[in-house]
Amino acid sequence: MTPPNQAAATPDRVFRRTASIDPQKGVGAVARITAMCFRYPWRAGLAFAATVPAVLMQLAIPFILGRAIDQTLAADRDNPDVRALVLIALTLLAVSVLRGLFTLVQNYSAESVGHALAQDLRNAIYDKVQRLPFSFHDRTHSGDLITVGMLDLEGVRMYFSTALVRTLLLTLLIGIGAWLLLSTDVVMGLLALSFVPFAAWRSTVMRLTLRRTWLILQEKLGVLSQVMEENLAGIRVVRAFAAQDHEMAKFDASSKDALDYSHQRIDVRVRNTSAMTLAFFAAMGLVLLYGGRQVAAGEITVGTLATFLTFMTILQMPVRQLGLMVNAYARASTCGTRLFQLLDMPVEIDDAPDAKNLEVTEGTLRLENVGFGYQGASGQRAVSGISFEAKRGETIGILGAPGAGKTTLMHLIPRFYDPTEGAITIDGQDLRNVTLGSVREAVAIVQQDSFLFTTTIENNIAYAAPFTEERRIRGVADSAQLHDYVLGLPQQYGTVVGERGVSLSGGQRQRLSIARTLMTEPAVLIFDDSTAAIDAGTESRIRTALRGYATDRVTVIVAHRLASLKHADRILFMEDGQIVERGTHEELLALGGRYKALHDLQMHPEADVLEKEAPQ
C-alpha cells in the first residue's frame, strides 16, 4: 500500500505555489479586491464615513477624562462643583454612546460589503467552473476547487472589514491622536508614539512571512480536502477492502501536516504581536516616567498625564489587532491570487466572436481527417486521421480495444474538446464556428459513467427538459427498459436515488442515463459503451425500442459486444487512434481481419480456449 504521506500527493496541480507567490501578483490581487469592494459604494462609503466620527469620539474620551481629573483636583473640597462634574459625566456618556453607534454602523456596513462581495465571487467561481473545458477538469482535483471556493473566498471576504476599514481606523487614531498629543507636549507625544516605527517594521516582516505561509497552508488544506472527498466518494471500496485503517492513517497524516503548519503560522503571528505589544507597554512606561516627573515639577497637570495614558490605553487594542490586520492583508493577497488565477483562466472551448446557432437541416454528420492529442501527452495523438460521414437515419458502430481512442472521438463530436487537426461538421457547418449551446442541443451523448443527481428518478430523467409532461417521462423510461422497475418501487418515479445514484445497480443507472438522453431529441445521438452493465437480453430490448428514435437522427454506438453493432449501417474498427477497418457486419466478416477475429472470439470463446490447451 502507498504510504499515507505519499497517497495524497498531487503531481499536476493547477494552482501552483510558485505562480501565486509572485509579489507583484499579490499586490495586484489586493488592488483588484479593493476595487471590487467599491462596487457597493453606499455600503463601503457608509463604513468609511462612520469610521471617522467613531475615531473622533474615541479620541475625545482621553481629553474629557483629563479635564475631569484636573477639574476634580482643582475643586474646593468644602464646596465641590457637582454640577460641572455631572456635566462632564453626561458628556462622557454621550460621547461613548455615539462612539458605540458609529462603530456599530461601521462594523455592519463593512461586513455587508464583505458578504456582498463573497456572493458575487461565489457566483463567478461557479459560473467559471461550468464553462471551463474538460481539459481543465482532467488535471484539476475537485479538492482544489473546493478550497478555492470556500477557504480562499473567505479570505477575500474578510479583507474589507479586517484590513481596509481597520487600516483607516488605525491610521486616523494614530494620525489625529499624534497631532493632538504633539500639540500638547512634544516630548511626551514622541514618547507615546515611539512604539509605532517598531510596530510598522515588525508588521512588514510578519506580512511577508504570513503571506508565504498562508499559501502553503492553503495547499495543504487542499490536499486534506482531496483525501476526504476521495474517501467519501469511494467509501464502499474502502469498506470492501477493509482499508479503514489505511484511510484513517492517510487522513491523519494530511491533517497533522496542515496542523503543524498552522502552529508555525500562529507562532509567527503571536511572536510578532507580542513584540509589538511589548514595545507599546515600554512606550507607556516611558510616558509614565517622564510625565510623572513633569507633574512633580509642575510642568503639566495630572489631567494632561492622564490624557496621554488614556490615549495609549485606547491604542492598546488596535495595536494588538495590528497583527490580525496584517494577516488579513497577507491572506487576501494569497487567497486573491489563487481565486483570480481560476477566474482569469481562458475558456478554451467557447463561442467564436461571430458564432451563430447551428442550423440542422439534413442532419448529416461528417468528420474530415480529425486528429486530437491530450495536453501533456508528449505529442502523442489519441486519435488521428479519422474520417467518416453519417446521414440522418444511419447508425454507425465503433469498436476496438481499450485505449483505441473511441471515447476520445465521441467527446470531440459534442465539443467537449476541439480537434487539433481536421474538422467536424453537421450539414457543412464546422462545430467550432457555431454556438456551443446549439451544438450541445444537437448532439447528445450517453456516457460510460452514468452520473445521477441526488434527487428523484423523475427529476433525473427530466434533467434536460424539466417542464416536460409526465407521459413523455414514462415513455422514454419504457424505451430504456426502466419503467417496469420504477413501478415496483414504493414511491415509483418519486423515489430519491442516493448520492451519484448509489441505490441503483450499474445497469439501472445506465438505463436511467439512456432515458435522460432520449428526452433531448438531438440530431446526433451517441451511446458511448452505455450498455456495458446491462445484460444481453435487456440490451436487445432497448435496441429494439430505440429503432424508432434512430430513424430521425444519426446514431453512433460504441460497444465491445458485437451483438450491439451487427445492425449498424457501417462499423468502424479502431486501433491506436485510427480506423483500420470499416464496413457492414457482413463485409467485415468477409474481410477476415480484426473484426472477424473478435467475432469468432465472442461467438465461440470455448474454441479459442480449446485451441490454446491443445497439445502442440
Q: Delineate the domains of the chain, giving CATH numbers in brackets.
A: 4-9+23-343 (1.20.1560.10), 365-583 (3.40.50.300), 585-616 (no CATH)
Residue type, 415: R
Residue 188 · residue 114 · CB < 8 Å: no
Confidence class for position 102, pLDDT limits 50, 70, 90: very high
pLDDT of 67 over the 50 cut = yes
Per-residue b/e over 557-583, b at no fewer than 16 CB within 10 Å? bbbbebebbebbebbbbbeebbbebbb
5-9, 262-266, 523-527: which range is least confident on average? Answer: 5-9
pLDDT at residue number 1: 39
Confidence class for position 609, pLDDT limits 50, 70, 90: very low
Q: What tens digit of pLDDT does each residue of 547-562 get?
A: 777 778 888 888 877 7
Closest CA to 452 of 496, 394, 392: 496
What is the chain's mean pLDDT, rounded?
79
Confidence class for position 377, pLDDT limits 50, 70, 90: low
Angle between helices 165-184 and 302-320 (to 10 degrees): 160
pLDDT at residue number 560: 77
- Compute CA distances 114 → 149, 304, 464, 518, 596, whole Å: 15, 40, 35, 45, 67
206-210, 476-480, 577-581: which range is least confident on average? Answer: 206-210
Q: What is the mean pLDDT of residues 34-61?
A: 89
Class of residue 428 by CB neighbours under 10 A (exposed 0-12, middle 13-18, buried 19+): exposed
Confidence class for position 108, pLDDT limits 50, 70, 90: very high
Backbone φ and ψ of 327, nearest 5°: -60, -35
* Residue 331, phi-psi category: left (phi > 0), alpha (psi -120 to 50), beta (remainder): alpha
pLDDT at residue number 81: 65
Cell (9 digits) for 519: 428526452
pLDDT of 14 over the 60 cut = no
pLDDT at residue number 187: 87
pLDDT at residue number 46: 92
Q: What tens digit of pLDDT does each residue of 423-465 get?
A: 999 988 898 888 988 888 888 888 777 777 777 888 888 887 7
pLDDT at residue number 80: 62
pLDDT of 237 over the 80 cut = no
Distance CA 561, CA 88 (A): 94
pLDDT of 25 over the 60 cut = yes
pLDDT at residue number 42: 92
Confidence class for position 253, pLDDT limits 50, 70, 90: confident
Determine the distance from the C-alpha atom of residue 173 to the mean position of all C-alpha atoms in its chain, rounded to a whole number: 38
Residues 6+ apart with CB under 8 A from 82: none
Residue 8 · residue 256 · CB < 8 Å: no
DSSP calls for 185-226: -HHHHHHHTTHHHHHHHHHHHHHHHHHHHHHHHHHHHHHHHH
Choose between 207 and 265: higher pLDDT: 265
Q: What is the mean pLDDT of residues 316-335?
A: 75
Choose between 165 and 450: higher pLDDT: 165
pLDDT at residue number 457: 80
pLDDT at residue number 4: 40
pLDDT at residue number 447: 78
pLDDT of 380 over the 80 cut = no
Cell (9 digits) for 117: 462581495
Confidence class for position 379, pLDDT limits 50, 70, 90: low
Report the chain's C-alpha Rg in angstroms.
Answer: 36
Q: What tens digit of pLDDT does each residue of 283-311 get?
A: 888 888 888 888 888 888 888 888 888 88
Give me the percent of the chain exceeding a pLDDT of 90. Answer: 4
Q: How open is the CA angle 462-468-474, to the nearest 5 degrees? A: 65
pLDDT at residue number 605: 56
Distance CA 516, CA 535 (A): 20
Confidence class for position 576, pLDDT limits 50, 70, 90: confident
pLDDT of 101 over the 90 cut = yes
